[in-house]
């Protein structure tokens, strides 16, 4: 009879995972990005083409800045506004503006006024769309997550609550046909929430990037083209 050496198997598996993520960390460093999370957005972008040149982007939970930097550097967003309660940014770009605020406390009008002031400063005019309304954001992205407690149910609910807030802000911040990318944990309440979103967006997808850990419950909601 043969017995499996579980410690050997575990060490081999964890060693492989460390190698996998050391690769992403090293690659991020080599490409001058603050964190390997940049590759998650890059995968999402490659599949769904969320951000187009000239787009105005709101990045919720933007620190340390990898997603914002990718949006500006590679995807050619015209403006990125980053929102976070921390200020550990590793980004310096003329088209980037940072707001240090709690996502639950800031209002939609504050964010839109910030966007308006940036555009006004550049163009010296108040930009309007064809309906005469102030131009809003084209895309809202969020890799934000509250601190985990180790309790899967509690952590899932806290992140889902945060993601609900991101979509609540997006209802007013996004212009028609705008899109949202937001992180959640897989849980029982995820399906009802995505069903709810289907009445507000033309397409709803769930996507787990290859650069996410296999054992991680994180997954991204891709909400395409806001209906109104």
pLDDT in tens, 79-102: 999 999 998 887 888 899 999 999
pLDDT of residue 173: 94
Query: For residues 57 and 137, is the Cβ–Cβ distance under 8 A?
Result: yes
pLDDT in tens, 23-46: 777 877 766 786 788 999 999 999
One DSSP character per residue, 39-95 reads HHHHHHHHHH----TT-EEEEET-TT-HHHHHHHHTS--SEEEEEES--------TT
Q: Which of 183, 208, 214, 226 is catalytic?
A: 183
Question: Dihedrals φ, ψ of 130, to 5°?
Answer: -65, -20
Q: What is the pTM of this model?
A: 0.86
Task: Evaluate if residue 15 carries a pLDDT over 90.
Answer: no
Secondary structure of residue 1 in the 3-state scheme: coil
Q: Is 12 a catalytic residue?
A: no
pLDDT in tens, 123-147: 666 666 555 456 799 999 999 999 8
């Amino acid at each position: 009879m043969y017995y499996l050496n579980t410690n050997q198997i575990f060490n081999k598996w964890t060693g492989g995972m460390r190698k996998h993520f050391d690769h992403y960390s090293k690659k991020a460093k080599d490409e001058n990005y603050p964190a390997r999370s940049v590759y998650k957005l890059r995968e999402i972008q490659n599949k769904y083409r969320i951000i187009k040149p000239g787009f105005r982007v709101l990045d919720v939970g933007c620190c340390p800045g990898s997603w914002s930097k990718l949006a500006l550097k590679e995807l050619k967003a015209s403006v990125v506004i980053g929102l976070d309660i921390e200020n550990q940014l590793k980004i310096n770009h003329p088209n980037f503006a940072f707001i240090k605020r709690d996502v639950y406390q800031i209002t939609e009008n504050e964010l839109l006024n910030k966007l308006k002031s940036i555009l006004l400063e550049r163009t010296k005019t108040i930009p309007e769309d064809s309906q005469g309304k102030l131009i809003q954001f084209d895309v809202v992205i969020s890799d934000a997550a509250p601190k985990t407690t180790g309790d899967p149910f509690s952590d899932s609910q806290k992140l889902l609550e945060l993601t609900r807030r991101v979509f609540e802000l997006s209802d007013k911040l996004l212009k028609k046909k705008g899109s949202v990318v937001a992180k959640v944990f897989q849980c029982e309440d995820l399906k009802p929430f995505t069903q709810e979103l289907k009445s507000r967006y033309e397409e709803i997808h769930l996507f787990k990037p290859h650069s996410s850990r296999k054992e991680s419950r994180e997954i991204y909601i891709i909400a395409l083209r806001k209906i109104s």
